[in-house]
Chains A and B, each alone.
Chain A
Amino acid sequence: MSRLFSSLRNLVRRNSVDRDLQAEIESHRQLLIDQNIAEGMDPNTAARQAGLAMGGVEQVREEVRSVRAGQWMEQLWQDIRYALRMLRRAPGFAALAVFTLALGIGANTAMFSVIQGVLLQSPPFADPGRVVAVLQKQPNGSNNVFSTPDFLAWKRQSSPVAQMAAIVTDSHVLGAGDQAERVVGWRVSSEMFSVLGVTPAMGRPFTAEEDRPGAERVLLLSDAFWKKNFHADPKILGAKITMDGTPFTVIGVLPQGFQVFAPGENFWTPLQLPTQDVTASSRTLHWFLALARIAPDSSLKKSQSAVDAIASRLHHDDPNGDAGFGLALQSFQDFTTDGLREPLLLLMGCVGCVLLIACSNVANLLLARGTARRLEMSIRAAVGAQRSRVFRQLLTESVLLSLLGGVTGLFIASSALHLLLAISPSSLPNVETIQVNGPVLAFTFAVCVVVGILFGIMPALATSRVDVSNALCETSRNAGHSGGKTRAALVVIETAIAFILLVGAGLSLKSLWKVSRVDPGFNPTGLLTFKVAAPTRFKDQPSIFYSQLAEKIRALPGVDAAVLARDVPMSGIDPSMPVAVDGGAPQVTDGQVVTRFRIVGPDYFHGFQTPLLQGHEFTAGDIATAQPVVVVSQSLAQRYWGNQSPLGKTLKPNIADAPWYTVVGVAADVRHQGLDADTEPTAYYPYTQLPKSIQPLAGRFMTVSVRGNTHAAGFLDSIRHAVAGVDSTVPIYAVKFMDEYLDDAGSFRRLATWLIAVFAGLALVLAAIGLYGVMAYAVTQRTREIGIRMALGAKRTDVLRMIVGHGMKMAAIGMAAGIAGAFALARLMSSLVFETSTTDLPTFITVGVSLALFIFLACYVPSLRATRVDPNIALRYE
């Protein structure tokens, strides 16, 4: 071991070893000079002679160093060559081991690439760990974005987030006619640039003056937008760009690669927080997100508790105020990966388990091979190889195996990633950055080395422990018995892990199946949706524009229905607004779900094929009159009126100038956020009867949903033509089939479920292969014993029962451990489980039975071989 140690020391402490050597050579030179002086030379000559005799201090040092380092390298190289030779000599073993490891390492590499791309990539801000999202806590316990009055109230407090900045999406039409293009960007408050710590690559950020309402509109461009639409014009600063008829002055271009949330953000313009309109006064209109930077001497936790303290004071001063509910700070990274972190880490854990199974399989192979190599080891020991040297050699072999597996695994990983990205692009943020890159390669390399040592160390210890004299005269008869327990333990662990993963997969698959059977409350098939924004000339009466548009489209050939809704289900936009009923006050208490606020046009329910349970929906004629009407969802009717008929009752959204609306119809519940999301009470208001104060805000854009011959060629062009017929400057955007929205909403669950199923399948196959290997090996080992048993009169069925029983006993222990593990896993899986108990008995039984069947086969085939043993031959075996 001392050699191993000093080689390691040389590697780890190269510098100090070098210094020591230099000091030693220097002392040699001094002693030589002393000696020369003692022999009568003058000091100068003595020093020169010493130098000559030594041939230069530096050269000596180099020589010693190169030989020493070279020796380490040479031994390693020797080991590698030897290992390669050994693997070539056992190609079957090598292929099986490399393939097993490639599956395990490849799956891990692919999964880590996803984690790296989604969870570990820091946003392009300065010191990104200090940027936090600031959310308003709601009376019902959930978090929401800010309303203007609450934002300003909080900024007046001297809190850690007093410098927070507001950000909200913005979109404008750029250009006109055929060139008209809808571009998206951000409206941000002037603090945003210091919060994110970004300086424009060109020009300047905007000032607080420019962020006041009424100030001249200025604009910063993203690098990509500047390059694409303005050909990277270096003289862009000061130029005027007209969007939606409003001129904006370009004052800066942001650095390349800068984005807040996702690629495709084109511009940043001052928020100019309104002081007049409804958003300025309403506490129920939550419409922008706030970001803040935590001071260098503080932390998220400290800031949160400082904010909590202020909140409780505010609540004390004004028990009914919204501000008193407080704020929730969340690191930007957590905010953007909310809901993904847990399942992704869970999947990483699962795939890690697959690798563990692969490892124990290879360890088993190595143990078996170690027995076969006892003679080789004994000979090496006899000719003087130290145990440490042999041990190192064996470990080199296993690390080499895992590196080969890792290289093969990289190919598997990159094709798996291709497949994965092709299947599920929309559910993961930054999906385009997922790839096998530097950090991923480093991860894979580290995994290979760790795994190589992990599965190699036990077999290497066992194999290198050789008693020369015994081993040389011993036959393989008794060999390997010592490894039997280890092998059995590995099989037990494999079975347990496979069981756990299979239960996980079973629960996820059952949940996926349950989700697929959920009725969304509308018929998405063949429903084409697109968005359109009323042009500036309809600014005061956008509903006129939208009704003209809907009429034009309805008149197109092949159109059965064309309906308006500001936000369609599953689109990710889901406003809410508390309501008051029957002349009362709005009810907002802790723990209550919010009431969804939907703005729709006539025939909406017919167009979406949402069943109307009572009453009727509003028609074009209805909503042109002054009598305000509303359609409510079944759950809303249930919540406020129980078993009474809701028809004719009244409700009022919590907007200052809202009228009382009369309920004319009850619609079936619709899943707005995904099939696995809860249904929430929803009120549907006609777009023509909105309170005046929110009309400009609500009417900024509208989604048109068309049912009919929507897949026909040229259909979209005819729609574009119809839109141009109303206003030629208006482009349509976000063209998407309703099916796609539905697909996207469920895509993460699908992805996670298929991944966990693939991992569980891998685990099952690997565990079965592992057990098969162990059983086959045990049968070979026990051939003699079986022969004796049969010679003494044991029947084939007895032998069969003995061998299979042995395997099944190991499996039974493994499965028992697996059940306990599966309960633990299921608890971690709550985010993936839907309408399925985490202790779902059918799943556990199905998994148990199928695993037992697999294991039985893995035992049965080798034991069949055992029964064909001819006692005469078996006794002569070896």
Chain B
Amino acid sequence: MSRIELLQGTLDMLILNALRTGPDHGLGISRRIHQITRGTFDVRPGSLYTALHRLEEQGWLASEWSDSENRRRAKFYELTASGKKQLQAETENWERISLAITRALRAT
């Protein structure tokens, strides 16, 4: 499995994106990222929780302890309203940048 070092800020966006479909716990989020990127990104727990806590401190995520699918206690994260806005903004931003870079690369 090839791993790509995440650009700073990209992981935040991926996490926010992974939570778009509903609340999930840490392991679930990392599984979703794994699935969505078809295994391109494998998020280590250390980076994952660091990012989750940072996003929560920014007010983009909210968290709550509750039971998981097999009745294990786990901390579930959820997008807040401002988190949704942030995801929107970051997505647009990313699209602009990637389009620009793609163009730039093609132009050469």
Contacts and interface: CB of A to CB of B under 8 A. Distances in A.
Interface string A60-73: 10011001100100
Given A24-B26, A55-B45, A63 B50 contact: yes
A64 B68 CA distance: 23
B75 A27 contact: yes
Contacts of A30: 72
B86 to A, nearest CB: 12
A34 to B, nearest CB: 6
A7 B27 contact: no
A174 B65 CA distance: 80
A6 B73 CA distance: 23
B75 to A, nearest CB: 5
Contacts of B59: 2-3
Per DSSP, chain B at the interface is helix
A67 B70 CA distance: 31
Contact of B50 (A3, A35, A64): A64
Contacts of A32: 27
A3 B72 contact: no
Contact of A24 (B46, B49, B57, B68): B49
A6 B56 contact: yes
Interface string B19-42: 000000111000000000000000
Interface residues of B, number: 22
B27 to A, nearest CB: 5
Contacts of B72: 27, 30-31, 34
Contacts of B45: 25, 28, 54-55, 60
A59 interface: yes
B49 A2 contact: no
Given A24-B49, A25-B49, A34-B70, A2 B25 contact: no
B27 A28 contact: yes
B85 interface: no
Interface string B70-87: 101111000000000000
Nearest to A21: B49
Nearest to B49: A64
B72 to A, nearest CB: 5
A35 B58 contact: no
Given A2-B58, A2-B59, A6-B57, A27 B74 contact: yes
A27 B64 CA distance: 13
A24 B26 CA distance: 8
Interface residues of A, number: 25
Contacts of B56: 6
A2 B27 contact: no
A69 to B, nearest CB: 11
| Among B44, B45, B65, residue most surrounded by chain A Cβ atoms (within 10 Å) | B45
A208 B65 CA distance: 70
B96 interface: no
Contacts of A24: 26, 49, 74-75
A7 B59 CA distance: 12
B69 to A, nearest CB: 9
A270 to B, nearest CB: 70
Contact of B44 (A23, A31, A55): A55
| Among B26, B53, B58, B65, residue most surrounded by chain A Cβ atoms (within 10 Å) | B53
Interface in A30-47: 30-32, 34-35
B50 A28 contact: no
Contacts of B25: 27-28, 31
Contact of B26 (A2, A3, A20, A28): A28
B99 to A, nearest CB: 22
B70 A3 contact: no
A254 to B, nearest CB: 58
Contacts of B70: 34
A542 to B, nearest CB: 85
A63 B47 CA distance: 8
B57 to A, nearest CB: 4
Contacts of A71: 54
Nearest to A71: B54
A2 B46 contact: no
Given A31-B27, A67-B50, A71-B54, 4 more contacts: A21-B53, A23-B73, A24-B26, A31-B25
27 contacts: A2-B57, A2-B58, A3-B58, A3-B59, A7-B57, A20-B75, A23-B75, A24-B26, A24-B74, A24-B75, A27-B25, A27-B73, A27-B74, A31-B27, A31-B72, A31-B74, A32-B27, A34-B70, A34-B72, A55-B45, A59-B46, A60-B49, A63-B49, A63-B50, A64-B53, A68-B50, A68-B54
